[in-house]
């Protein structure tokens, strides 16, 4: 069983959200090092984007499991009839 879900819209959105999360963390670090409190907004954005990445990754895994179960059900139905 592969570690990553098959490529599709949910996986792509998860990857994009993860990229945004990493960039927001970098921006937060740079802001705090420069002495700007705007880094707080970047930390909040990192939190939201990490939640989005987690959601879309779970969604992709659920879609893969549903597709595998549907294929197994069709295979069993074909074997019986």
Per-residue pLDDT at 79:
81
Strand runs labelled E in the chain: none
Kindly report the backbone phi and psi dihedral angles of residue 56, in degrees, each rounded to the nearest multiple of 5, phi listed first.
Answer: -70, -30
State pLDDT tens for residues 11-53: 888 899 999 999 999 999 999 999 999 999 999 999 999 999 9
Per-residue pLDDT at 8:
77
Per-residue pLDDT at 2:
57
The crossing angle, in degrees rounded to 10, of helices 39-80 and 9-33 is 160
State pLDDT tens for residues 64-75: 899 899 988 888
Which residues make Cβ contacts (< 8 Å) with residue 53, sequence separation at least 6?
14, 15, 17, 18, 21
pTM for the full model? 0.74
């Amino acid at each position: 069983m592969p570690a990553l879900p098959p490529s599709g819209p949910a996986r792509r959105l998860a990857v994009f959200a993860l990229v945004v999360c990493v960039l927001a963390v970098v921006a937060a670090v740079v802001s705090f090092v420069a002495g700007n409190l705007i880094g707080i907004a970047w930390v909040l954005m990192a939190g939201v984007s990490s939640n989005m990445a987690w959601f879309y990754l779970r969604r992709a895994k659920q879609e893969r499991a549903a597709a595998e179960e549907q294929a197994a059900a069709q295979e069993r139905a074909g074997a019986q009839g």
